Chain A
Amino acid sequence: MRPILMKGHERPLTFLKYNRDGDLLFSCAKDHTPTGWFADNGERLGTYRGHNGAVWCCDVSRDSSLLLTGSADQTAKLWNVKTGTQLYTFNFDSPTRSVDFGVGDKLAVITTDPFMGLPSAIQVKRIARDPADQSGESILVLKGPQGRINRAVWGPLNKTIISGGEDSVIRIWDSETGKLLKESDKEAGHKKGITSLSKSNDATHFISGSLDKSAKLWDMRTLTLLKTYTTERPVNAVAMSPLLDHVVLGGGQDASAVTTTDHRAGKFEAKFYDKVLQEEIGGVKGHFGPINALAFNPDGKSFASGGEDGYVRLHHFDPDYFNIKI
C-alpha cells in the first residue's frame, strides 16, 4: 500500500516507538519536540514540548500513560501521554542517549553520553507510580565502556541490562549488582560501532545493528550469536517483525558522505531479511536520506521508518507480504 508520509519534524528522525496496543506511534527527532501519532492513519495526536535539544530516544509505558524521552539537553523527561504535560525531569551532566522502561514500568534505564571529560554511563532510575513521589536518584550507575553507549535495554525480568555502543561490544550487566556478566565475542561480534538494538516482543532475543554493515541476532540470556544479516550499507536501525520471521534493517551512507549523485547511490532502503535463513527478501524505498529509525507495529501488519530527511513513513503491508515464500 502507499505509505503514509508524516511530516511533522523539521530535523532528521532519531527514534520511533509504538505503544503496546499498536494504536499510537511516538517519534523523536533532532528538533526538540517528540510527537505522538495515530498509527492507523498517521494523524498527529500531539507534541511534547519542553526539551531544549535533540531528542534521541523514547519509551512508552505498558498502559500508554507515561512517555519517557531522553534528550541532548542533558535531561530525560516523563510526560503524560494524553495531555502532553511534563511530569518530571531527570537532570544529568551529559546528554542522554537512550531510555527504556523495565517490565512493570517501575524501573527505567537511561544512558548518558561521554561529555566534557565525563565517561558514558548507564543509569537506573526508579519510576514512581505517582509522579509527585518521583525522585531523580539513580539506584545504579554503570560505567566502563569506551565511547557512546547508543542503546541499553532491560533483559528478562529486569535482571539484566544489555548495552551496545561505539566500542562495538555488546555487554550484559547484572541490574542488581552492576557486575558485568557477559561480553560479546570479538571475533563473532560487530566490527564497528553498534547503532541500534531491538528486543523481540517476548524479550528472549534481540537484534543489533552496526556500522560494520551487518545486523546480528543474539540470545538475550546467553548472548549466543544466532544469526548475522549482512548488507551493503552501514546499519542505523533494526526491527523485528512480531508476526513473521522477518527482520528489517535500515541505514545508508553516512549523512555527511551523501553526495549529490543519484539518491539510489545511498541505498536508503529498508531491507527485509528472512530471520531464520538470513536471506534478503526485499526492500522498501522512499527516503531521501539514511534511515535512522525503524519500528514494527506490535500487530506486525505495519511498520514505520524515520529518516535523515525528516519524514516518518508509515507502511501498511499489502496482503502479498504475508504470503512471501523463499
Chain B
Amino acid sequence: MSMEDIRASASRLGIDFSEVDLDSIRLPPGEDFGIISDDEDLKEEEELEFEAGFGNIIVVDNLPVVPKEKFEKLEGVIRKIYSQIGVIKDDGLWMPVDHTGKTLGYCFIEYNTPQEAELAKEKTNGYKLDRSHIFAVNMFDDIEKFMKVPDEWAPPETIPYTPGENLQHWLTDEKARDQFVIRAGSDTEVLWNDARQLKPDPVYKRPFWTESFVQWSPLGTYLATLHRQGAVVWGGASAFNRLTRYAHPQVRLIDFSPGERFLVTYSSHEPSNPRDTHRVVLNIFDVRSGKVMRDFKGSVDEFAIGGTGGVTGVSWPVFRWGGGKDDKYFARIGKNVISVYETETFTLIDKKSIKVENVMDFSWSPTDPILALFVPELGGGNQPARVSLVQIPSKEELRQKNLFSVSDCKMYWQSNGDYLAVKVDRYTKTKKSTYTGFELFRIKERDIPIEVLELENKNDKIIAFAWEPKGHRFAVIHGDNPRPDISFYSMRTAHNTGRVSKLTTIKGKQANALYWSPAGRFIVLAGLKNFNGQLEFYNVDELETMATAEHFMATDIEWDPTGRYVATSVTSVHEMENGFNIWSFNGKLLYRILKDHFFQFSWRPRPPSLLSPEKEEEISKNLKKYSKKYEAEDQDVSLQLSEQEREKRKIVKEEWERWISEWKQLQEEEKLERQKLRDGEASDEEEEYEAKDVEVEELLDVQEEVISFD
C-alpha cells in the first residue's frame, strides 16, 4: 500500500490524516494487516533457499533396463557405488518401474546433504558401468531448469545504461581526510579521521551490517560485508549503498584481487560423515558484475598448503594474486605443484601446473609476474634447499639459489618489487639450534645479484623484518634477551649503491613489531603483547626517535594510507580498555575513543597516486610553496577551535555559577531551620575554630660539664 492509497482511504473515511501520529500506531502482535514490512525483501530471499529443498537429490540416468528378477541386483550395485560417496538417506534410493516391474533406466538418490549430492554428481557423471551404460548424473533441481530451456533462442534484453555513483567520491574530500571503518558491539561505522578537529566525523553507521567482519577492497572502492548467504559490497558517493551481492552460502573468508577486479570467497563445510574431511568451496567472482568466473571444490586436503601436510586447515589466501594491479594471474600451491591460472580464461597457464617437487611456499612479486618459491632440503641433505624465481607466463627460471642445512625460509618482497629478502634459518653444526641469515635479491638489476647478509651476532633471533615501502631500507628486530635490538639497513647508500650497508642499531628496545609508514621514512617500533603496547615513533632519515608513547594493551596498529596518522587499537581480545587512539606520524596523541566490545579498525585504502614520479619529485622539492595554503588553513582551524573551546568553557562556567548562586541563596534561606535542627548551634561555617601553633618547652634535666680546651 503506498502513501497515496493511505491518504485516499483516510480522506474517504473522513480522517484528517495530518493529525495522525504514525509512530503511535501499534499493530497487535502477529498481525500485519497485509502491509509488507521493509524486511519482507529479506524473507523472500530466504525462502528461495528453502525452495531448493531437493538440492540433496540426484538423478542417475542411462542405467541398464532390467526385468523384475534382476531389480534387486541392480539396486545393490547402485547402492554400492553411491554409498561410497556419501550417506544415502533411508529410503533414499528410488528406482521407478513400469507395470511389469521392469526398470525405466533411471533412479533417484537422496543424500543427507547437498554437498554430498553435488560430489556424487561430479564423481559419477560419465561413470562407465559397462560399454553401453555410461551414467548421466544430474541434480534433481537442475532437471526443471533443463526442461524450461526454450526451444528457440531469444536475444537477451538489453538493460538501458544507468550511470552509477562516483564510487571514489571520498577521495574528493576538501580537507583530504581519510576514512576508516570500526566495528564495536553490533554497530559498524565509517568515520572520517578529522585530525584537525581532533575527533572523528561520522559518515555512515549501521547496526548488524555484517555477520562476521568487514573488509575494504584494496583500492578502497568497496566495503565488503559477510553474511550467511554470501558476501556483499557497498559503496557510493554519499552513503554506502548495496552494490553487488555474491551468493556463497556460509562464506567464511574473502579476498579481493589487488586491482579489485575479482573477489575470492571461501567456505568450508562440515561433512555429514565424521570420518570424512571438510569440504571446501571457493568461488571467484567478477566484482562489478557479480558473476562467478570459476569455482573450486574439494576436500580440505587438496587446498592445504605446504605439500608435506601435518597442518590441518587451509591457509588463507588460498589463491595469491600476481602481476601487480592488472589482476592477470593467480596461483595456488598444491602437493608438488604450483598451479598458476590466468584471468582471461580462468584456466591453467599452458593447461598445466608447474611441477616442483616438494615445494613448501611461494610468493608473488607485488608488481611483476614473478614467482618466488622455496623448496626445502630433500634426501636428508643430499639435495640442497632452494629458492628460485620463476617468470610467468613463460615459466622460465630467472634465478636460483641453493641453500644448505636449512630449517626454514621466509620470503619478504619490497613493495615495488625491487628487492626480495629471504630469511634463512640454518642449523648449526650440531643441528641443535638454528641461526638466521638473509639472502637479498636485487630483482631489477641485471642477472639479479644475490647478497648474503648475516647479523653481527649470529645467534640473534629474528623477531621481525620489514621493508620500507617504496624504499631501499629495511628494519630488523633481533636479539635473544627480553629487550631486543633494532637494526636498519639500506640496499644503497650514497657512496655504496651496490651493496647493503647498515645504517644503525638501536639497542635494548621493548619492541616486537615493525610498522613502516606507507610513505616510508617513518616507522613505529611497537611492543605489543607482553610489552603492553609500547610505541616508539622513529625517523629513519635522521635516525632519531621522534616520540615514545604507550597505548596500554594495544593489539593492532595501522598507518593511514597516506602515512600521516597512525591508529592503535585495543580489540576485544582484552576485556578492558577497548577502543582506539589516533596519533600523528610523529607520535603526538590526537584523540582517543573508547568503545566496549571493539572488534575491528580498518583504514580505507587509497588508490595509488596519479601523479607521475617527476611531478611528485617537483612537489616534494617545492613543498614550502604548496604547504603554505594548508598551513594557513590549519591555523584558521586551530584558532577557531580554541575560540570555540573558550566559548564553550565560558558557557559551562556561567551555568555552573548560576547553580552555585542558587544554592547559596537556598542555603541562606534554610539557615534558620538548620540551626533549629541543630538545637540552635549557630554556625554552618567552619571558621569558628582556628588552628594555633602552641609551643611547649619542658625542661627535663640540667647537667653541667667542664670541657677543657687543649
Query: Interface residues, chain A, CB within 8 Å of chain B?
Result: 20-21, 62, 102-104, 106, 156-158, 202, 204-205, 219, 221, 226, 232-233, 245, 253, 257, 262, 264-265, 267, 276-277, 298
Contacts and interface: CB of A to CB of B under 8 A. Distances in A.
Interface of B: 532, 552-553, 575-577, 594, 649, 652-653, 656, 659, 663, 666-667, 670, 673-674, 677-679, 684, 686, 689
Given A232-B576, A262-B532, A106 B652 contact: no
Contact of A298 (B552, B659, B678, B686): B686
Contacts of A157: 670, 673-674, 677
B678 A104 contact: yes
B652 A277 contact: yes
Given A226-B659, A264-B552, A276-B653, A156 B576 contact: no
Nearest to B550: A264
Contacts of A276: 652-653, 656
Given A106-B677, A202-B684, A221-B666, 15 more contacts: A21-B689, A104-B677, A157-B677, A158-B677, A202-B667, A205-B659, A226-B659, A232-B576, A232-B577, A253-B576, A257-B575, A262-B532, A267-B576, A267-B577, A276-B656
Instruction: Rank and list the top 10 A-B pairs by shortest CB-CB distance, nearest first.
Output: A204-B663, A104-B677, A104-B678, A276-B656, A103-B677, A157-B673, A157-B670, A202-B667, A103-B674, A232-B577
Contact of B679 (A21, A104, A262, A265): A104
A158 B653 CA distance: 30
Nearest to B532: A262
Contact of B659 (A102, A219, A257): A219
B678 A62 contact: yes
A325 B622 CA distance: 42
Contacts of A221: 666
Contacts of B670: 156-157
Contacts of B677: 102-104, 106, 157-158
B576 A265 contact: yes
28 contacts: A20-B686, A103-B677, A104-B678, A104-B679, A156-B666, A156-B670, A157-B670, A157-B673, A157-B674, A158-B677, A202-B663, A202-B667, A204-B663, A204-B666, A204-B667, A205-B659, A226-B659, A232-B576, A232-B594, A233-B576, A262-B532, A265-B576, A267-B576, A276-B652, A276-B653, A276-B656, A277-B649, A298-B686
B380 to A, nearest CB: 45
Interface of chain A: mostly helix, strand, loop or mixed: loop
Nearest to B552: A264
B656 A265 contact: no
A158 B594 CA distance: 40
A257 B577 CA distance: 14
Contacts of A102: 677
Contacts of A104: 677-679
Nearest to B657: A276
In this complex, the member of B552, B663, B674, B684 whose beta carbon has the largest number of chain A beta carbons within 10 angstroms is B663
Contacts of A21: 689
Contacts of A298: 686
A233 B553 CA distance: 15
A78 B589 CA distance: 53
B490 to A, nearest CB: 37
A298 B685 CA distance: 11
Nearest to B653: A276
Nearest to A242: B686
A20 B678 CA distance: 14
Contacts of B663: 202, 204-205
A123 to B, nearest CB: 20
Contacts of A205: 659, 663
A285 to B, nearest CB: 13
Contacts of A245: 656
A197 B666 CA distance: 22
Nearest to A224: B659
A137 B473 CA distance: 83
A21 B686 CA distance: 8
B106 to A, nearest CB: 65
Nearest to B579: A232
A257 B239 CA distance: 41
Nearest to A234: B576
A226 B576 CA distance: 28
A169 to B, nearest CB: 22
A106 B686 CA distance: 20
Contacts of A204: 663, 666-667
A153 to B, nearest CB: 15
B678 A103 contact: yes
B372 to A, nearest CB: 40
A298 B575 CA distance: 37
Contacts of B667: 202, 204
